[in-house]
Amino acid sequence: MDIGECLEKGFLKKVDSDETLIKKELAESNYDLERAEKAFEKKDFKWCIIQSYYSMFHSARAILFKIGYREKRHFVISVVLEDLNKKGMLESKFVNYFNAGLSSREEADYHYAYSEETAKHILDIAKEFSERLKILLKEL
Query: pLDDT of 34-43, one tens digit each?
Result: 999 999 999 9
Residue 51 lies in a domain: yes
Does 5 fall in a domain?
no
pTM of the predicted protein model? 0.94
Residue among 6, 27, 2, 29 nearest 86 (CA): 2
Domain hosting 133: range is: 16-139
- What's the domain count of the chain? 1
Asked if residue 66 lies in contact with residue 33, where contact means CB atoms within 8 angstroms, the answer is: no
**What are the pLDDT digits (tens) for 66-98?**
999 999 999 999 999 999 999 999 999 999 999
Q: Can you tell me the distance from the alpha carbon of 8 to that of 23, in angstroms, rounded to the nearest whole number?
A: 28
